[in-house]
Structure 1
Amino acid sequence: MTLKRMDNIGIVVEDLDAAVDFFRILGLELEGRAMIEGEWAGRVTGLGDQQVEVAMMRTPDGHSRLELSRFLRPAVVSDHRAAPVNALGYLRAMFTVDDIHETLETLRAYGAELVGDVVDYKDVYRLCYIRGPEGLLIGLAQELG
């Protein structure tokens, strides 16, 4: 068995348009949007009769993708968006940016809020966590030196 790659990270949102806009501002490119439904889809997810609108976002280097999903059917069953950084399960997606302070200023205009502080890890990275659309936890990293 050989792992080839990681295709994407999936995030479920309520407002797909707002999430797409936010991640576009961050620098991801919209690859496409589609409605996923039908018997085959429910067999994959185990949700049965489902209808979900999906937007696939790609990083500028083309290596990573973020799949944003808005479930129309069945209804969302739980909400982890307000979970703290030490909660079990999905934590966050981390993005490398060229200027963390400039990125923060840009994203604040779209509702992003800094979680803690912007800190330098040795002379390697400048790091922070933000809450993005719908309270999603997002990490930002700037390579130093």
Structure 2
Amino acid sequence: MALKRMDNVGIVVEDLGRAIDFFRELGLELEGRAMIEGEWAGRVTGLGNQHVEIAMMRTPDGHSRLELSRFLAPDVVADHRTAPVNALGYLRVMFAVDDIDETLERLRTRGAELVGEIVRYKNAYRLCYIRGPEGILIGLAEELR
């Protein structure tokens, strides 16, 4: 059997509305919101009785999704939002954008902060990392033509 696709990347947040607004500003579309709870959900995650509000965000091309989750129960047990770029585990989500400068300016109105600086990689890309809502690490890549 072959892998079909990557379905989504999940990010746990405290303020779901703020995260939705930020990723909408980036260009993702809200596909839907839902409450996830019940015995089946706890069996999947291993958390037992859980109550989670989620929002599924979709990229404009329809190929990728970002699942934003706010845990109501059980309580969040760890916080890696301020971990440096070289921390173990999931690092960041990288988005391809048309204009990195314009995108960064729009996202700054939603609280985004540039981590280092915008750099040029050969004659292929302009790249940067930003901290988005709640310190989430996000990469932006502008393909040079």
Tell me the TM-score normalised to structure 2 length.
0.99
Secondary structure, counterpart of 1:106 in structure 2: helix
State the distance in 2 between where 1:29 and 1:142 align.
Answer: 20
Match of 1:68 in 2: 68
What is the total number of aligned residue pairs between the two structures?
Answer: 145
Q: Say whether residues 1:12 and 2:12 are aligned partners.
A: yes
1:25-104 matches, cutoff 5 A = 25-104=25-104
| Counterpart AA for 1:88 | L
User: 1:3, 1:106 → 2: CA distance?
Assistant: 36
Structure 2 runs not aligned, ≥5 long: none
The structural deviation recorded for 1:99 is 0.4
Shift of 1:74: 0.2
- 1:22 aligns with 22
Deviations, residues 33-53 of structure 1 (Å, cap 9, x unaligned): 000000000000000000000
Mark the runs of 5 or more structure 1 residues left unpaired by the alignment. none
The one-letter code matched in structure 1 to 2:26 is L
Identity across matched positions, percent: 81
The 3-state SS of whatever aligns with 1:43 is: helix
**Moved segments of 4+, more than 6 Å:** none
Amino acid in the other structure paired with 1:136: I
Which position in structure 2 is the counterpart of 1:124?
A: 124
1:21 Cα deviation from its structure 2 partner = 0.3
1:110 aligned residue: 110
Report how far residue 75 of structure 1 moved.
0.2
TM-score with structure 1 setting the length: 0.99
**In structure 2, C-alpha distance between the alignment counterparts of 1:98 and 1:5, rounded to whole Å:** 24
Q: CA–CA distance in 1 between the matches of 2:40 and 2:110?
A: 36
- Give the drift of 1:2: 1.2
The alignment yields a C-alpha RMSD, in angstroms, of: 0.4
Q: How many Å separate the matches in 2 of 1:5 and 1:57?
A: 16
> In structure 1, how many angstroms separate the alpha carbons of the residues matched to 2:109 and 2:27?
15
In 2, distance between residues paired with 1:105 and 1:3? 37
Q: Which amino acid aligns with 1:124?
A: A
Shift of 1:141: 0.2
Q: Give how far 1:105 is off.
A: 0.6
